[in-house]
A and B are shown apart, each in its own frame.
Chain A
Amino acid sequence: MSGSIAYAANLSVTPAGRIYAAVKPILWLAVGLFAVEVLVMAFEIRPYYLPRPSAIASGIMATPGAYLAGLWRTFLETALGFLAGSVFGVVMAVVFHRWLALKELFFPLFIVSQTIPVIAFGAVVVLWFGNTLFAKAVISFYISFLPVTVNTLLGFSSVDPRQVQLMRSFGARDGQILRRLYLPAALPQLFVALKLASSLALVGAIVGEWFGDTTGLGVLLLQAMYNENVVGIWATIVVSACLGMGLYSLVSFAERKIVFWGGEQ
């Protein structure tokens, strides 16, 4: 991860290098797709197993509105669940950090909560909240907060106790030490979790939609499956992958802006 960032940073020294760095992923994606296209045709793979990339593309272009609407809906569910999960995850880490007794009491419960399969949990949530955007966001939230809590706590524990003592010698209160020391120090670890949580939140939203809904990428996937519309399945996979990568890149971008000091600690 950090290696690739360093690589990109090296490249961006010259303008030409910067353009290459930006275009490079697209270039490789194009090469990859072309290779798949050639392979599918060369080995005469049946579309039932793997349709040609060009067929998938034209499948998306045939009804772009449906895919866009699905994308938007799933994005909203994911974003809502992800944001709620991240905030809750950090707040719980702070609570556990501040009151160790609460941590001993409830942290095991947190872990247990994650052993309940989302599928089982999802049915209950849809029963409670109906077939709403909110219900899907709740499922997203449910599977994304734990890594945030765990990594934030990990980040807190990386704080040098001498640093805490220094702040206390300045007469700092607990809240000041939290804001000026613990929270910033946990940011590198927090972002590792946020990247993971963004992917998990998307899974949560898609699975949530399987419990019944009218729009969303999960719905498109189910419909395509029932209709044995292989191109439709692959088209939805591609759109979901784009959403997943987009969310991940967004979090990575924020990470590079916010955690500018990197792993130095």
Chain B
Amino acid sequence: MMERAMALTEEHLRGPAAGAMGLIDLLKPSKGRAVAQVPAKLETAEPTDAGKPLIELRNVSKTFGTVKALQDLEVSIRPGELVTVVGPSGCGKSTLFNILAGLEEPDPGNVLRHKGISSVASDLLGKVSFMPQRDLLLPWRNVIDNAILALEIEGMPRGEARKQAMAMLPEFGLAGFEAQYPNQLSGGMRQRVALMRTFLFKRDLMLLDEPFGALDALTRTMMQRWLLDVWQNHKRTVLFITHDVDEAIFLGDRVLVMTARPGRVKLEQAVDLPRPRKADIVTSPEFIALKKTLLEAIEEESMKSFQVAGY
């Protein structure tokens, strides 16, 4: 309840002028809202050299003891894309992210290219901005100091890092909360602090692991719209894990559906819905058609993982 009220006021206060959709606008029928707010730089956010992937994985497998988490995974992400990943739980989505963040080495025999250069996973340490499934804020650091953690590790002086973070607070709906500690924040706000920490760590590739998974439905919808705005302003390449098909379609340029464990890409679905995406796009026939295709694919895999589990 608290959280909801909070988010409402913030969104409301920010309004359309801030380059984001205010809550009032979101609740109104969509006509006459979106077009005026499209930032001029939107066109440049489109991948310019679509032929050259930013990151490319081939034959990537990962085995934990006897558990085969990933098998012969192939993924290729172009610069500026927002690619969403869905799949049954336990299919290796987080494992894929750990590999891309440089935290796990895939089994030998893989191909991993970062900006066209052949690499091992650990080369990616410090090169990818990674937001794990949980916010993982440090309880002894306030909002601003949690947000600058990655910058501090890079060696940026605290004063300067704080200045950068302060400037970003309003965009993340955290203005005035810089001195609060994580235990004083609602779940939605904690998640935004974690997102801000990820955005401040400016890297070509951003990995978001179910960032909105723990939020209530209303907050989540607002965060999705907000994320699209922020993404368009900051022009980042994003890989986004979710278990929510609507979210995957609403946000993504492409949706990757993964198979049950061992995880592979089962289906790669382009989402040709126009951007900026309006709130009511979820009821359009194109959206529904996409959703149907994806749900069928996911259903099939979920059934498999159920049978594997012996149900």
* Interface positions of A (Cβ within 8 A of B): 160, 162-163, 165-172, 176, 180-181, 184, 187, 260-261, 264-265
- Bound together, the chains give a CA A20 to CA B139 distance in angstroms of 31
Residue contact A162 to B138, C-beta cutoff 8 Å? no
Decide yes or no: A169 and B130 within 8 Å by CB, A176-B153, A264-B183 being known contacts.
Answer: yes
A264 to chain B, nearest CB (A): 5
Most buried by A among B127, B140, B149: B140
Residue contact B103 to A171, C-beta cutoff 8 Å? no
Q: Is B214 an interface residue (CB 8 A)?
A: no
Q: Mark B133-175, 1 if CB is under 8 A from A, else 0.
A: 0101011100000000110111000000000000000000000
* Residues of A with C-beta under 8 A to B134: 162
Residue contact B152 to A162, C-beta cutoff 8 Å? no
Determine chain B's interface SS by DSSP, over half rule: loop
* Residues of B with C-beta under 8 A to A169: 101-103, 125-126, 128, 130
* Residues of A with C-beta under 8 A to B240: none
Which of these, B98, B154, B181, contacts A170 with CB under 8 Å? B154
Decide yes or no: A162 and B136 within 8 Å by CB, A169-B103, A261-B181, A264-B183 being known contacts.
Answer: yes
Residue contact B201 to A165, C-beta cutoff 8 Å? no
Identify 4 new A-B residue pairs, CB closer than 8 A, beyond the known A169-B130, A171-B153. A170-B150, A171-B127, A172-B153, A265-B139
A203 to chain B, nearest CB (A): 32
Q: Is B276 an interface residue (CB 8 A)?
A: no
B62 to chain A, nearest CB (A): 15
Which B residues from 55 to 99 make CB contacts under 8 A with A? 98
* Residues of A with C-beta under 8 A to B125: 168-169, 171
Residue contact B201 to A170, C-beta cutoff 8 Å? yes
Residue contact B149 to A180, C-beta cutoff 8 Å? yes
* Interface positions of B (Cβ within 8 A of A): 98, 101-103, 125-128, 130, 132, 134, 136, 138-140, 149-150, 152-154, 181, 183, 201
Residue contact A180 to B132, C-beta cutoff 8 Å? no
Which of these, A165, A172, A187, contacts B98 with CB under 8 Å? A165
- Bound together, the chains give a CA A230 to CA B152 distance in angstroms of 62
- Bound together, the chains give a CA A146 to CA B149 distance in angstroms of 33
- Bound together, the chains give a CA A98 to CA B134 distance in angstroms of 26
Residue contact B126 to A264, C-beta cutoff 8 Å? no
Closest A residue to B150 by beta carbon equals A170
B180 to chain A, nearest CB (A): 12
- Bound together, the chains give a CA A265 to CA B136 distance in angstroms of 10
Task: Sort A-B residue pairs by CB-CB distance and give the 9 closest, nearest first.
Answer: A171-B126, A261-B139, A170-B150, A169-B130, A169-B101, A172-B153, A170-B153, A184-B140, A165-B103
B161 to chain A, nearest CB (A): 12
- Bound together, the chains give a CA A181 to CA B139 distance in angstroms of 10
Residue contact A170 to B149, C-beta cutoff 8 Å? yes
Closest B residue to A171 by beta carbon equals B126
B252 to chain A, nearest CB (A): 23
B245 to chain A, nearest CB (A): 26
* Residues of B with C-beta under 8 A to A166: 130, 132, 136
* Residues of A with C-beta under 8 A to B181: 260-261
* Residues of B with C-beta under 8 A to A163: 136, 138
Closest B residue to A160 by beta carbon equals B136
* Residues of B with C-beta under 8 A to A170: 126, 149-150, 153-154, 201
Most buried by A among B102, B103, B126, B138: B138
Residue contact A264 to B153, C-beta cutoff 8 Å? no
Which of these, B128, B150, B153, B183, contacts A261 with CB under 8 Å? B183
- Bound together, the chains give a CA A62 to CA B127 distance in angstroms of 73
Most buried by B among A167, A168, A176: A168
* Residues of B with C-beta under 8 A to A162: 132, 134, 136
Residue contact B140 to A261, C-beta cutoff 8 Å? yes
* Residues of B with C-beta under 8 A to A260: 140, 181
Residue contact A181 to B98, C-beta cutoff 8 Å? no
- Bound together, the chains give a CA A160 to CA B153 distance in angstroms of 19
A176 to chain B, nearest CB (A): 5
Which of these, B126, B132, B138, B153, contacts A165 with CB under 8 Å? B132
15 A/B residue pairs, CB under 8 Å, sorted by A: A163-B138, A165-B98, A165-B101, A167-B149, A167-B153, A169-B101, A169-B102, A176-B153, A180-B153, A184-B138, A184-B140, A187-B140, A260-B181, A261-B139, A261-B140
Closest B residue to A165 by beta carbon equals B103
- Bound together, the chains give a CA A172 to CA B201 distance in angstroms of 13
- Bound together, the chains give a CA A265 to CA B183 distance in angstroms of 10
Closest A residue to B102 by beta carbon equals A169
- Bound together, the chains give a CA A35 to CA B130 distance in angstroms of 65
- Bound together, the chains give a CA A170 to CA B136 distance in angstroms of 13
